[in-house]
Amino acid sequence: MAADALQKKQIRDIVLTHAHLDHIASLPLFIDDLFATLSEPIRVHATAEVINILERDIFNWDIYPRFSELKNDAGAVLEYRSFEIGREFSAKHLSFKSANVNHKVPAVGFVVSDSKTTFAISGDTADMNEFWEVVNKEESLNAILIECAFPNELEYLAHNAHHLTPKSLQNEIAKLQNKNCPIYIINMKPMYRDEIVGQIADLKKENLQILEVGKVYDW
């Protein structure tokens, strides 16, 4: 998890879209690193299906300790917070609305709000409908973060892995009713970044841009 020392002291709620390794790989090490110093547990918000995967395949004593069974001097170090898809839940000062997306495993996207700013994030997905139904109900939407993992030339791989290409992304953003909402591209496979960036530019969408890692966005 890319977090500095101050952020590690502050982060106590983690919200998961799904359980693929590139989305949860640093979670065990994050908890392990903070284990002795935690005065409250790390709260992992996820669907019951994702929590079951974490307990079965990651925190199972064979791969890594089952932190849900362990305590430090202050008490529990890991607490699961299960949420139901379609029902709103909170993490710290943020509210989350979840919606099914179309990935190879159980996965969700979110609409996230602090009552002043609202943005949506797709997580990993191929073509989808439920996510857009939830997004289009929002009266005020400041930004959308949507994946685009592969270039058009690898459409067959994107299809089989349930990801988007610039071509299929164009079909997805056409489902967004708020045509002026800024859209940021996330989760590009690093090997294909240059190709994807070029093909995104070819779409000539003024409100479509690449999310820059490390940049602070103020919506």
84-130 residue pLDDT tens: 999 999 999 999 999 999 999 999 999 999 989 999 999 999 999 99
How many whole angstroms separate alpha carbon 99 and alpha carbon 137? 12
Residue 33 CB contacts under 8 Å (≥ 6 apart), including other chains: 8
Q: What's the pLDDT at 1?
A: 58
Is residue 51 over pLDDT 70? yes
Q: What's the pLDDT at 115?
A: 86
Residues counted in the chain: 219
Residue 182 CB contacts under 8 Å (≥ 6 apart), including other chains: 142, 143, 144, 207, 209, 219
How many whole angstroms separate alpha carbon 181 and alpha carbon 144? 7
Q: Mean pLDDT, to the nearest integer, of 179-207?
A: 96
- Comparing CA positions, the residue from 143, 141, 100, 140 lying closest to residue 123 is 100
Please list the residue range(s) of the chain that carry CATH number 3.60.15.10.
Answer: 89-210
61-89 residue pLDDT tens: 999 999 999 999 999 999 999 999 999 99
Q: What's the pLDDT at 28?
A: 97
Per-residue CA distances from 202 to 35, 167, 179, 197 (Å):
48, 10, 18, 9
- Per the DSSP assignment, residues forming a β-bridge with 150 are none
CB atoms closer than 10 angstroms to residue 82: 14
What is the pTM for the complete model shown? Answer: 0.93
Q: How confident is the model at residue 46 (pLDDT cuts 50, 70, 90)?
A: very high
Where does 47-189 show beta strands of DSSP type E?
71-72, 75-76, 78-82, 89-91, 94-100, 108-113, 118-121, 143-147, 183-186
Is residue 7 over pLDDT 90? no
How many whole angstroms separate alpha carbon 186 and alpha carbon 137? 23
- Which CATH topology does 89-210 take? Metallo-beta-lactamase; Chain A (3.60.15)
Q: Mean pLDDT, to the nearest integer, of 209-215?
A: 91
Question: Residue 199, SS3?
Answer: helix
How many whole angstroms separate alpha carbon 151 and alpha carbon 156? 10
Is residue 3 over pLDDT 80? no
- Comparing CA positions, the residue from 110, 120, 136 lying closest to residue 18 is 110
Q: What's the pLDDT at 2?
A: 67
CB atoms closer than 10 angstroms to residue 35: 16
